[in-house]
Amino acid sequence: MNLDKYLDVAPEIRAALAAGKPVVALESTILSHGMPYPQNLAFAARVEQVIRDEGAVPATMAIIDGRMKAGLTGAELERMCKAEGVAKVSRRDLPILLAEGGTGATTVASTMILASLAGVRIFATGGIGGVHRGAQETMDISADLQELAHTPVAVVCAGAKMILDIGLTLEYLETMGVPVLGLDTDDFPSFYCRKSGFGVDYNAKTPADAARVAKTKWDLGLIGGLLIGNPVPEEYAMDFDEMTAVIDRALAAARDAGVRGKDTTPFLLAHIVEYTGGRSLATNIELACHNARMAARIAVEYAKL
């Protein structure tokens, strides 16, 4: 298939990939549906600069006017951040949005798809979707997990939020054969906090260690990606007990409001920001920039292998 029919790769990214230089994918749902405007716009520019400062090229992914984009212009980033008429696009939504010429922000799952199509192997995000608490009844399990099982991209995240059942999320990844690494940690992080109480499969002490595991997985022809947990820097971490209470309150609000399906995660994120008086947003921004920095270092090491 000729991908040019659907996909635009920005010239700088195309050149970097052709030369074997490091490129890091970024998602756009974190902008459109994960953070308020205009803080998301400042974040979008900063996170791209963090990647450049490490010697890699950022590739923010989105669907714009029916085309898949790897690499956005300033005006396109602004459009994603204003989020007017911007859908949340996961794997199932992708063909619909392209066929109807729509505009949407890509989740972890669909960003992995775009990255893989463009040839980008390393991706930085904030937190991934996973098995929701109460999934035994709702069957709400993010498509992000299936994507990690199928698509060859290494996702650097600050773990999973406690809006999810972290234990079940890790069980699911084990079943799907997805390696879960920690960057210099034995404990899978829980987004706002450095620990979750659940272990990782491998403590990658350095970005080079993580790059080597990814390279080995793909050399072996094992399908799918990897999940790399990178704890929030100590100075931005939030109190575990406080966040447990805040998240319980947000979950109760979602239940009372009857929120379901793809609206659940954005609803919970917005309420957590509200209940913490914006402190959680500052932490979210810092941890996502830290993930971008480490993802860029992994991409630099991966490019040498």
Which residues are designated catalytic?
Answer: 27, 161
Residues in the site for ligand PSU, rule: CB under 6 A?
Answer: 27, 29-30, 34, 90, 107-108, 126-127, 129, 142-144, 161, 191, 262, 265, 269
Residue 108 near which of ligand PSU, Mn ion, none (CB within 5-8 Å, type-dependent): ligand PSU
Q: Given 3-state DSSP classes, what are the helix, strand and coil percentages for the chain, each rounded to the nearest 5?
A: 50, 15, 30
* DSSP code of residue 103: -
The pattern of x and - marking residues 133 through 172 that bind Mn ion according to CB under 5 A reads: -------x--------------------------------
Toward Mn ion, which CB reaches closer, 7 or 270?
270
Residue 161 near which of ligand PSU, Mn ion, none (CB within 5-8 Å, type-dependent): ligand PSU
Beta bridge partners of 25: 59, 123
Residue 230 near which of ligand PSU, Mn ion, none (CB within 5-8 Å, type-dependent): none
Toward ligand PSU, which CB reaches closer, 36 or 102?
36
Asked if residues 120 and 193 have their Cβ atoms less than 8 Å apart, the reply is no
Q: What are phi and psi of 273, to 5 degrees?
A: -60, -45
Toward Mn ion, which CB reaches closer, 101 or 167?
167
Asked if residues 160 and 231 have their Cβ atoms less than 8 Å apart, the reply is no
Least Å distance between CB 142 and ligand PSU?
3
Residue 189 near which of Mn ion, ligand PSU, none (CB within 5-8 Å, type-dependent): none
Least Å distance between CB 126 and ligand PSU?
5
Kindly give the pairing relationship between strand 67-70 and strand 87-89.
unpaired
Q: With helix as H, strand as E and coil as C, how does 131-186 read?
A: EECCHHHHCCECHHHHHHHHCCCEEEECECCCCECHHHHHHHHHHCCCCEEEECCC
* DSSP code of residue 121: -
Residue type for 254, please?
A
Toward ligand PSU, which CB reaches closer, 60 or 265?
265
Chain residues that interact with Mn ion, rule: CB under 5 A: 140
